[in-house]
């Protein structure tokens, strides 16, 4: 189990391999972001994207799937998140791309009012199979402490 005390600010890890499919791009867009360039090749052809592209929100969802798989693998004692800051969709994501994640642990802080938990901040960078950055975000997470009231 990975607890607050196990987190090392400045550490970086790389993980995930998410294959983006045409069917999933269209299915997600039809439910949650039904803009023509996420649904139809012909409609996308004359846009900035040039061809069918995944919704940015779909990119977020695929990233979350990879993050959760990594949390499960590490058996992190996670307690959720208060949110995400500075979300950026840097480049389009297309069917046929394979996404992966790099996560930099920026810092951590023990809670002053809740000794059983701490928080940490990450910079998350999502890349495609060519190493092109497609999305970035800063996120904060909550995590259990192994020893409430202990030192960092």
pLDDT, tens digit (0-9, with 9 covering 90-100), for 93-143: 999 999 999 999 999 999 999 999 999 999 999 999 999 999 999 999 999
| CATH fold for domain 4-144 | Thiol Ester Dehydrase; Chain A (3.10.129)
pLDDT digits (tens, 9 = 90+) for 16-64: 999 999 999 999 999 999 999 999 999 999 999 999 999 999 999 999 9
State the Cα–Cα distance between residues 6 and 144, nearest whole angstrom: 11
Structure tokens at 42: 């012909």
pTM: 0.94
End-to-end Cα spacing for the chain = 17
Q: What are phi and psi of 56, to 5 degrees?
A: -60, -35
State the Cα–Cα distance between residues 86 and 65, nearest whole angstrom: 19
Cβ atoms of 120 and 107 closer than 8 Å: yes
Tokens 């970086």 identify what position?
12
Q: What are phi and psi of 62, to 5 degrees?
A: -65, -40
Structure tokens at 107: 């810092």
């Amino acid at each position: 189990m990975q607890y607050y005390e196990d987190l090392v600010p400045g550490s970086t890890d790389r993980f995930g391999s998410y294959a983006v499919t045409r069917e999933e791009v269209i299915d997600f867009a039809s439910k949650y972001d039904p803009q023509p360039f996420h649904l139809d090749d012909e409609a996308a052809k004359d846009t900035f994207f040039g061809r069918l592209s995944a919704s940015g929100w779909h990119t977020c969802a695929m990233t979350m799937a990879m993050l959760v798989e990594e949390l499960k693998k590490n058996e992190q004692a996670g307690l959720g998140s208060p949110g995400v800051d500075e979300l950026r969709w840097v480049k389009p994501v297309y069917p046929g791309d394979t996404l992966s994640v790099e996560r930099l642990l920026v810092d951590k802080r023990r809670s002053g009012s809740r000794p059983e938990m701490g928080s940490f901040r990450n910079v998350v960078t999502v890349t495609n199979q060519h190493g092109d950055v497609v999305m970035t975000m800063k996120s904060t997470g909550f995590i259990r402490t192994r020893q409430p009231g202990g030192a960092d």
